[in-house]
Amino acid sequence: MSHDPAVYARSVGLDPAQLPRHVAVIMDGNGRWARAQGKERVEGHARGARSVDEVTEECCRLGIGQLTLYCLSSENWKRPKAELDFLMALLKQYLLQEREKILRQNIRFAVIGRRDGLPDEVLAEIDENERLTRGNTGLTLCLAINYGARAEIVDAVKALAERVKRGDLDPAAIDEDAISASLYTAGMPDPDLLVRTAGEMRVSNYLLWQISYAELWVTPRFWPEFGVELLHDALRDFARRERRFGGLRPAEPT
């Protein structure tokens, strides 16, 4: 297999010039997959972690710049304590077990979301992975943990208001760039492609500001079933889309 992402992309029938720079994913359906298999919900989360690994590795091979995964929403704290405890243990295990592979693959690791409520031992491993990979130049793997887009926008507005209060910012200077720079995703490109599994036709409070012009791709398959083939399907469909960002085709009359 070629180590050149462009050569590899062509080998699997993808045009490297038509790949998204940033793919965001709403990983849905772990519990429903488990029920369909006659298993406990937590087994769906464990199998979903394998899909995370497969998709991350394939994005690395394809040379995609960023992959952002919706791991835990701020609303997910309503779930049973036993399930949340399992998710935190699974997250800590992932952070530890994948660290060597992340470093070897030149992945830059990042997390967005509020830190409140996350166990100290999980926060410590997040911080360590971010520290160790800060200088890496390959795929940015961004996990949205305890994340909600409305909360993110509230935090951004508060940060801007504090700057105005201190006299560091003229309210008239607040524009889209200033707001983007105050979000958790500051410095990251906006997603080009948003993938959602399990057939749900909503964005679930995910990257509301950032996905303004993202292409949406929804599959009825559950996240534990999502792998390289479905990722390729999403990327091929993205390549066929005409992204006009509110404009017209070159030959289209006004």
Catalytic (active site) residue 28 = yes
Q: Which of 53, 76, 155, 205 does the annotation list as catalytic?
A: 76
Catalytic (active site) residue 190 = no
SS (H, E, C) the chain: CCCCHHHHHHHCCCCHHHCCCEEEEECCCHHHHHHHCCCCHHHHHHHHHHHHHHHHHHHHHHCCCEEEEEEEEHHHHHCCHHHHHHHHHHHHHHHHHCHHHHHHCCCEEEEECCCCCCCHHHHHHHHHHHHHHCCCCCCEEEEEEEECHHHHHHHHHHHHHHHHHHCCCCHHHCCHHHHHCCCCCCCCCCCCEEEECCCCCCCCCCCCCCCCCCEEEECCCCHHHCCHHHHHHHHHHHHHCCCCCCCCCCCCCC
Q: Which of 28, 129, 146, 192 does the annotation list as catalytic?
A: 28
Q: Catalytic residue numbers? A: 28, 76
